[in-house]
Structure 1
Amino acid sequence: MHVDFTRLRYFVAVAEELHFKRAADRLMITPPPLSKQIKLLENELGGRLFDRDYHNVGLTPLGETLLGPARDILDRVDDLKAMAARMTHGATVIRIGATAYAPSDFLAQLETTVAALTVPTAFSVPGSAAEVTAKLVSGHLDLGLIHLPSSDRRLRHRVVASYPGAIAVRFDDPLAASDSVSIEALRERDVVIDFARPNPVVLAGLTRGLQARGVQRIVRTTNQLGGELEMATQVFNRHLVALVTYAPASAIGRIFSPPEFKLIPIDESTWPPVKIALSWAPDRLGDPAHLEALVDEIAAAIGKSDARR
């Protein structure tokens, strides 16, 4: 039986997102070819990997059984590529991974920056910040982009981006008349924080922070990871308030854009901005000083790019 490694990577992405559009964005392809490749993989394996209907995607028993082994195979393939690159290029390949839940425009900027480095690199988007963290501490990644805070004390961090918090509301919502809002303005509203669901640490921190400021009515709109379109539909239909990151050029910023929605920044004096950091595990590195110099180079390049915008 022949199994295509690229299709295997597509399978893992859809299994982790449980959402074809989000998985396609993460893989930087469009949904139709992704769906086609999944069907081809199902033919290769002899059974369905996903149960699909109009709104939901779920793993079949076969998909659940194969997900773990598929991840192990892809880790081995990545290690094999890194080993080959070290031998053929005479230099260590720096393996860089990023959370798929960072703003999409920033992810694209990071990938472009990494591609321009003079050292050999391998860039990937493994999934949530928790998955990136796990790969850092296990030694499968050298450098990772994650959201802060991080609960793992084995990691060091360099903040490379900071985004104000924001709310997304329907165009005719009373809050839509504002150019900025305080977090206290949400105390009598039903608030959605589903965008943070892939990161349990961030989700718990958001929940505690909102409750401490008197925002108690936190509701859930989707059981999927990456179900932004379903979340937006429910925000629109139920007049909810979505708590998101103020990144108008990102995928989620475009979803919550006029004329149907308005994206409004939150006053930073009432709600701290989201911090995104490059992280690494010094104990897992042969030459931490070399990597830290590379972090400085990436951060400086990103800063110059931001200054040109």
Structure 2
Amino acid sequence: MEMLHLRYFVAVAEELNFSAAARKLHMAASPLSQRVKDLEHELGQQLFDRSTHHVTLTAAGAALLPLARDVLDQVNAIPWKIREATRPQRSTVFLGMPAGVHPALRERVNTLAGRVHDTYELKRWPGTTADLVQGVHEGKLALTLARLPISDPALEQVPVMSERLGAVVPAELFAGRDSVSLAELTEFPYVASPGEITPAYFDQLDHQLAELGVKKRIRLTNTGYGGTSEIISSGEAFSISMLDEQSPMHGYRLDNVIVLPFTDFRPQLDTGLLWRRDRADGDLHGLVEAAKAVFADPITT
């Protein structure tokens, strides 16, 4: 039995959608489906019930899922367990940092680095939330800050910050205003930054806006947060971002763009600190205990 077959099976079992699982694995759906069929043939069991619109686990698939996860977790743990066995007295570890981390959180990261200095050299590693969470799962990163929600049974998380979000609107159309209602924006298209750089929360927010009457969309590709600001500054759309002026996300604003609080809508972006459960009792015990103390009181803006 090949390890890759188990990885493919777990990805499909978690997504219950071959196309979504294929995107997660950075491969095409057709070869993924064939690899799963190969595993089913090898086991002599059907693992999924497939229909045109639904994929569900069979009894055999449900029985295999925790076993496969356990095997993969053990394999993923090999690198850090080897490092634990051979590491010097003071080891270098990495903490993931998604884009736009608030200065108050950065201060706590610095506090943590100082507190564990004698045992760990804590370095920061940038990336998207999805990539950073995967890095922690695979043992490449010790900890990560990540935009919630995150669902991974191998990881433990604690909330560390809640940031209120506001409407990013053209300044000339809302001059003199100190707030705006969502009802005023229903005729504007909502523009979101490309999905590969935004956390999963913004997908939920997109659906919520649609339910509340914001139906028009502008989808950007091959651009960053600056591209979103460019569209808004032309007066053609609005977006949603951090309200606090101290947020680094305000660095992407152009002159004709302002951020206003909503009067009838209260979105917020939550950030958590994550680590592998099994490492908290192993090579990262001291680091995790220090992190729990430093981040004990969540920050609210």
For the criterion TM > 0.5, the same-fold answer is yes
**Inter-CA distance 85–203: structure 2 relative to 1 (3 Å threshold):** farther
**Inter-CA distance 140–204: structure 2 relative to 1 (3 Å threshold):** same
- Match for residue 297 of structure 1? 293
Q: Tell me the alpha carbon deviations over residues 67-106 of structure 1, each in whole angstroms, 9 at most, x when there is no partner.
A: xxxxxxxxxxx98xx779941xx2455432221x233535
Q: Tell me the alpha carbon deviations over residues 126-178 of structure 1, each in whole angstroms, 9 at most, x when there is no partner.
A: 3100011101111112211000011323322211111111122222113x443
- Match for residue 239 of structure 1? 236
- Match for residue 139 of structure 1? 139
Structure 1 residue 219: Cα displacement: 1.1
- Match for residue 125 of structure 1? 125
- Match for residue 248 of structure 1? 245
Q: What amino acid sits opposite 1:185 in the alignment? A: E
d(CA) in 2 for partners of 1:220 and 1:110?
35
d(CA) in 2 for partners of 1:134 and 1:204?
19
Q: Tell me the alpha carbon deviations over residues 46-81 of structure 1, each in whole angstroms, 9 at most, x when there is no partner.
A: xxxxxxxxxxxxxxxxxxxxxxxxxxxxxxxx98xx
SS of match in other structure, 1:158: strand
2:274 to 276, 279, 282: 279
The RMSD of aligned alpha carbons is 3.3
d(CA) in 2 for partners of 1:212 and 1:144?
32
Q: What amino acid sits opposite 1:249 in the alignment? A: Q
Q: Tell me the alpha carbon deviations over residues 3-55 of structure 1, each in whole angstroms, 9 at most, x when there is no partner.
A: xxxxxxxxxxxxxxxxxxxxxxxxxxxxxxxxxxxxxxxxxxxxxxxxxxxxx
**TM-score normalised to structure 2 length:** 0.61
d(CA) in 2 for partners of 1:85 and 1:177?
62
CA contact (8 A) 1:96 1:144 kept: yes
CA contact (8 A) 1:97 1:126 kept: yes
Structure 1 residue 230: Cα displacement: 2.5
**Inter-CA distance 301–118: structure 2 relative to 1 (3 Å threshold):** farther
d(CA) in 1 for partners of 2:207 and 2:139?
32
**Inter-CA distance 195–294: structure 2 relative to 1 (3 Å threshold):** farther
d(CA) in 1 for partners of 2:279 and 2:116?
22
d(CA) in 2 for partners of 1:216 and 1:103?
30
**Inter-CA distance 113–122: structure 2 relative to 1 (3 Å threshold):** same
d(CA) in 2 for partners of 1:237 and 1:84?
57
**Inter-CA distance 229–95: structure 2 relative to 1 (3 Å threshold):** closer
- Count residues with an aligned counterpart: 218
Q: What amino acid sits opposite 2:269 in the alignment? A: V
CA contact (8 A) 2:128 2:198 kept: yes
Q: What amino acid sits opposite 1:280 in the alignment? A: W
Q: Which runs of 5+ in 2 are unaligned?
A: 1-78
**Inter-CA distance 118–280: structure 2 relative to 1 (3 Å threshold):** closer
**Inter-CA distance 205–302: structure 2 relative to 1 (3 Å threshold):** closer
